[in-house]
């Protein structure tokens, strides 16, 4: 018995279809497709009709090119290995004005997306003036072998936040830039800005935009809690097994560092073969696990084990579910355990058995 991380392939595919609807989606497949596996995710997204992918790593972009020879692949981080980018027909961001002036000659034939920095301040041109500067310099550059301006983009860093005005601020600033440049006659084959939260908040792709750049919704988690469960389904299950049931009495301490003190005699604790070494966050262990469809409290988390307080209905070898579509990653996000992607990223794919059903 070993704890298992498993994905229902059909459910994963159906969710991708459901999230995409008839919209043009750029699937974010960074960090090994949010750890679902790059090859698996890209294959299912292609099946669901998605033909555009983005990641932050050149290595992953090249791997996507091998899996999807005809796809459009956008590299969200700038890199300096221009030959590899060119040879693999990878589109790349323009992260700053300095980067442009330093490298515009070396960027020949590469599809470049001009990035607007906006409120996140992680990367990008700082203003419409800086964007115009690049556009004008590029227009005047008579070298026939020059970079190709293929897109305009930004990232909304605050679309997941509801109690602050920042999403509206970054959205307004961005739309003004898009509209100004389009009014001035500039054309961009691709314009994209929205993550999952913005995509649902806006009820689809923003006007004049060619794509929404979606990650977490494609991986089965709602970016915010008022989205109905049925709109985004989780295909992932993470589960362990009960090794044995032990009885403890009032006052007994169980788990490392006095983690749990039994309040009653004959308290039944299931010893489960999954722990923080497998990637279960300590904050997740403040809540329940699912056994035979019923929730039981986790009482202590150890490296390779956890204690779950159970009743007579539960026995050795029973399955203990930490995550599935009935006890979803996003439920714990909204309870403060950590971001959806943080919980997914914590999983230890070296110790958990990985299965695609
Ligand atoms: C630049 C960029 N675009 C899109 C996404 C996708 O965001 P989400 O997973 O919230 O859809 C991310 C994720 O971190 C990102 O960094």
Closest residue by Cα to atom 6, ligand 1, is 215
Kindly list the protein residues whose Cβ atom lies closer than 6 A to any atom of ligand 1: 28, 76, 155, 195-197, 213-216, 223
> Per-residue pLDDT for the chain (357 aa), expressed as one digit of tens each?
789 999 999 999 999 999 999 999 999 999 999 999 999 999 999 999 999 999 999 999 999 999 999 999 999 999 999 999 999 999 999 999 999 999 999 999 999 999 999 998 889 999 999 999 999 999 999 999 999 999 999 999 999 999 999 999 999 999 999 999 999 999 999 999 999 999 999 999 999 999 999 999 999 999 999 999 999 999 999 999 999 999 999 999 999 999 999 999 999 999 999 999 999 999 999 999 999 999 999 999 999 999 999 999 999 999 999 999 999 999 999 999 999 999 999 999 999 999 999
Query: Which of 207, 186, 242, 238 is CA-nearest to residue 346?
Result: 238
Q: What is 9-224's CATH number, 3.40.50.410, 3.40.50.10490, 1.20.140.10, 3.20.20.10? A: 3.20.20.10
Probe residue for ligand 1, chosen from 215, 221, 232, 338 as the CB with the greatest number of ligand atoms within 8 Å? 215
The domain ranges of the chain are 9-224, 236-324
In the block, residue with structure tokens 């750029």: 26
Closest residue by Cα to atom 16, ligand 1, is 155
Does the domain formed by 236-324 have CATH 2.60.120.10? no
Catalytic residue among 30, 233, 239, 268: 30
Tokens matching residue 112: 């470049």
Q: ∠ at Cα 159 (158, 165), nearest 5°?
A: 60
Q: Coil, strand, or helix at residue 7? A: strand
Catalytic residue among 256, 263, 294, 335: 256
């Amino acid at each position: 018995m070993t704890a298992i991380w498993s994905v229902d392939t059909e459910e994963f595919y159906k969710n991708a279809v459901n999230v995409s609807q008839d919209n043009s989606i750029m699937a974010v497949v960074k960090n090994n497709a949010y750890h679902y596996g790059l090859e698996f995710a890209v294959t299912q997204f292609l099946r669901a009709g998605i033909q555009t992918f983005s990641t932050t790593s050149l290595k992953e972009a090249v791997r996507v090119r091998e899996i999807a020879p005809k796809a459009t692949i956008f590299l969200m981080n700038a890199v300096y290995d221009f030959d590899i980018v060119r040879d693999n027909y990878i589109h790349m961001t323009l992260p700053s004005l300095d980067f442009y002036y330093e490298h515009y000659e070396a960027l020949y034939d590469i599809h470049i997306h001009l990035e607007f920095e906006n409120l996140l301040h992680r990367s990008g041109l700082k203003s419409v003036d800086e964007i115009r500067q690049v556009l004008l310099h590029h227009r005047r550059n008579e070298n026939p072998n020059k970079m190709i301006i293929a897109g305009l983009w930004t990232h909304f860093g605050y679309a997941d936040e509801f109690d602050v005005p920042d999403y509206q601020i970054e959205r307004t600033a961005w739309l003004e830039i898009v509209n100004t440049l389009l009014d001035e006659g500039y054309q961009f084959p691709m314009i994209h800005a929205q993550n999952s939260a913005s995509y649902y908040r806006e009820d689809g792709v923003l006007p004049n935009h060619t794509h929404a750049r979606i990650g977490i919704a494609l991986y089965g988690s709602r970016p915010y809690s008022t989205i109905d469960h049925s709109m985004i389904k989780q295909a992932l299950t993470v589960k362990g097994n009960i090794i044995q049931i032990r009885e403890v009495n009032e006052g007994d301490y169980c788990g490392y560092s006095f983690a749990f003190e039994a309040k009653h005699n004959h308290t039944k604790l299931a010893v489960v073969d999954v722990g923080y070494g497998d990637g279960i966050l300590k904050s997740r262990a403040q809540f329940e696990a699912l056994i035979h469809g019923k929730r039981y409290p986790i009482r202590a988390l150890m490296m390779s084990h956890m204690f779950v307080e159970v009743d007579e209905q539960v026995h050795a070898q029973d399955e203990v579910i930490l995550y599935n579509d009935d006890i979803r990653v996003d439920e714990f996000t909204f309870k403060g355990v950590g971001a959806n992607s943080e919980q997914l990223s914590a999983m230890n794919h070296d110790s958990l058995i990985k299965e695609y059903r």
